[in-house]
């Protein structure tokens, strides 16, 4: 990677000023540059380093005034590093997100012109569609520190304590020029008329509303939920921008397989084929499958096996969660794959034979149902 000299200067400046937060943020910037420059390994090592929370500085008496839960002493928010892994999205969400980023990047200009608007975006969609990852990317694009609400510390079993924690968190944020990420928002922003819930929930939701209203215009809030229908309408209204994340479409799936399985070095045909046959998978599932396949390949020292991945995709789609392995394929499994490739991927028989490593005659027999297996 080209060393960016201005970053280097900033880093020295921050280090000598013992500005722990700035050192970490600059580290995050460098990690992203490394990742973008195709040095994912160094990016990961640097991130691991950044996660070690500055023990020497703490020993020297430096403490960050992060608000904590009174009972557990756990921090209520945490500054997280910007993500270094790429985000793949397509469809209608892209436009909404780009517009939000553009508006957020121009807050000062908007305010000068008397259009200071609340900058909050709500991300919703099924689990594993990349909401949390996207939130980190938005913070990175805006070059703002990324503060994530820690629900596990905020939600307290002690009466009244949850509201107090939420208030503490909102009091802390405005001083930070931050992106505040409220993940799993439904946990603190459920409908207040839910009959099964008691007064405590109402108080919590009201506190969240007050907190959101109390923020100055330059705090950027991102909410995320898998259950948008559970959110209180008043919360819903506090987020003028909304983006629904869907399971990835064909093009996005191709890019995901290409990245997660082939580290961007394939063979587009294989990625396109995998994308065709993984129609219902989310980004998280594709990543998980790809990593499992790569683990098998490394440990067994056998090249990545496309048929095994396809087979695992097919069984998972059938309701039996299966990760790719490296066992020899049975005749039944080869037959199933032959049908899958012919019918769902429209693959010619010679291609199927090549993919499965058997003769074309055999494929012909599999498809005609005249084999012995």
Ligand X SMILES: Nc1ncnc2c1ncn2[C@@H]1O[C@H](COP(=O)(O)OP(=O)(O)OP(=O)(O)O)[C@@H](O)[C@H]1O
289 within 8 A of 313, measured Cβ to Cβ: yes
Residue 73 CA: distances (Å) to CA of 37, 56, 150, 153, 188: 40, 21, 12, 8, 20
> Binding string to Mg ion for residues 131 to 160, with x set by CB under 5 A, is what?
xx----------------------------
CB of 59 to ligand X, least distance (A): 33
State the binding partner of 85 from Mg ion, ligand X, none, CB within 5 to 8 A by kind.
ligand X
- ∠ Cα 289 83 165 (to 5°): 110
Nearer to Mg ion, 108 or 126 (CB): 126
225 part of the interface to Mg ion, by CB under 5 A: no
- Among residues 24, 25, 32, 131, the one that binds ligand X under rule CB under 6 A: 131
Phi, psi of 307 (to 5 degrees): -55, -40
By the 8 A CB rule, do 129 and 247 touch? yes
Q: Is 32 in the site for ligand X (CB under 6 A)?
A: no
Both ends of the chain: CA-CA distance in Å? Answer: 55
How far is residue 27's CA from residue 47's CA, in Å, rounded to a whole number? 8
Q: Which residues pair with 121 in a beta bridge?
A: 222, 241
DSSP 328: P
Asked if 284 touches ligand X (CB under 6 A), the answer is: yes
Q: Is 169 helix (H, G, I), strand (E, B) or coil?
A: helix
| 6 contacts: CB under 8 Å, gap ≥ 6 | none
Q: Does 116 bind ligand X (CB under 6 A)?
A: no
| Cα 333 from Cα 308, distance rounded (Å) | 9
Give least dist CB 147 to ligand X, A.
16
> Is residue 89 near ligand X by the rule CB under 6 A?
yes
Q: Taking CB within 5 to 8 Å according to partner kind, which of ligand X, Mg ion, none is near residue 127?
A: ligand X
- Site for ligand X contains 353 (CB under 6 A): no
The answer to whether residues 49 and 33 touch, using CB atoms and an 8 Å cutoff, is no
In the set 283, 341, 355, 366, which binds ligand X (CB under 6 A)? 283
Instruction: Kindly tell me which of 132 and 254 has the beta carbon lying closer to Mg ion.
Output: 132
Tell me which residue of 183, 188, 197, 195 sits closest to 226, measured CA to CA.
183
User: For residues 284 and 336, which CB has a smaller minimum distance to Mg ion in the complex?
Assistant: 284
295-302, long-range: CB within 8 Å, 24+ apart, which pairs?
296/324, 296/325, 296/326, 297/326, 300/326, 302/326
Q: Select the residue interacting with ligand X from 163, 287, 305, 333 (CB under 6 A).
A: 287
Q: Which of 129, 162, 254, 271 binds ligand X (CB under 6 A)?
A: 129
Binding mask 199-238 for ligand X (x = CB under 6 A): ---------------------------x------------
Site string for Mg ion, 113-132 (x = CB under 5 A): ------------------xx
Residue 209 contacts which entry, ligand X, Mg ion, none (Cβ below 5-8 A, type-dependent): none
Contact between 123 and 135 (Cβ < 8 Å): yes
CB of 103 or CB of 287, closer to ligand X: 287
Determine the interface stretch with ligand X among 8-16, 18-26, 128-136, 154-162 (rule: CB under 6 A).
128-136
87 is an interface residue for ligand X by CB under 6 A = yes
* Residue showing the smallest CB distance to ligand X in the complex: 283
Cα(271)–Cα(345) distance, integer angstroms: 12
Residues that bind ligand X (CB under 6 A): 85, 87-89, 127-133, 226, 283-284, 287
């Amino acid at each position: 990677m080209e060393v960016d000299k201005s970053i280097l200067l900033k880093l020295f400046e921050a280090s000598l000023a013992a500005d722990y937060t700035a050192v970490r943020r600059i580290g995050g910037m460098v990690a992203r540059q490394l990742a973008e420059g195709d040095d994912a390994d160094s990016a990961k090592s640097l991130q691991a380093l950044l996660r070690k929370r500055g023990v020497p500085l703490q020993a020297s008496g430096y403490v960050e005034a992060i608000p904590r839960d009174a009972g557990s002493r756990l921090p209520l928010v945490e500054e997280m590093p910007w993500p270094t892994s790429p985000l793949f999205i397509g469809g209608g969400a892209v436009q909404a997100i780009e517009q939000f980023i553009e508006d957020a990047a121009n807050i000062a200009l908007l305010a000068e012109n008397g259009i200071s608007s609340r900058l909050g975006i709500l991300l919703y969609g099924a689990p594993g569609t990349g909401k949390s990852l996207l939130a980190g990317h938005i913070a990175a694009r805006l070059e703002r520190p990324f503060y994530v609400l820690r629900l596990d510390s905020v939600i307290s079993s002690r009466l009244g304590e949850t509201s107090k924690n939420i208030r503490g968190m909102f009091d802390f944020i405005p001083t930070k020029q931050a992106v505040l990420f409220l993940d799993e928002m439904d946990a603190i922003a459920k409908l207040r008329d839910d009959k099964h819930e008691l007064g405590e929930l109402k108080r919590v939701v009201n506190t969240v509303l007050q907190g959101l209203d109390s923020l100055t215009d330059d705090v950027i809030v991102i909410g995320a939920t898998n259950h948008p229908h559970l959110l209180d309408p008043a919360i819903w209204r506090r987020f003028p921008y909304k983006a629904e994340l869907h399971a990835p479409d064909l093009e996005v799936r191709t890019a995901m397989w290409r990245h997660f399985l082939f580290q961007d070095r394939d063979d587009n045909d294989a990625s396109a084929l995998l994308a065709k046959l993984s129609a219902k998978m989310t980004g998280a599932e594709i990543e998980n499958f790809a990593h499992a396949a790569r683990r098998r390949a490394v440990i067994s020292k056998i090249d990545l096996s496309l048929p095994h991945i396809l087979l695992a995709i097919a069984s998972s789609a059938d309701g039996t969660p299966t990760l790719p392995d490296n066992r020899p394929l049975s005749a039944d499994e080869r037959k199933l794959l032959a049908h899958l490739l012919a019918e769902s991927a429209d693959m010619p028989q010679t291609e199927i034979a090549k993919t499965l490593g058997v003769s074309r005659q055999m494929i012909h027999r599999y498809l005609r149902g005249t084999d012995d297996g």
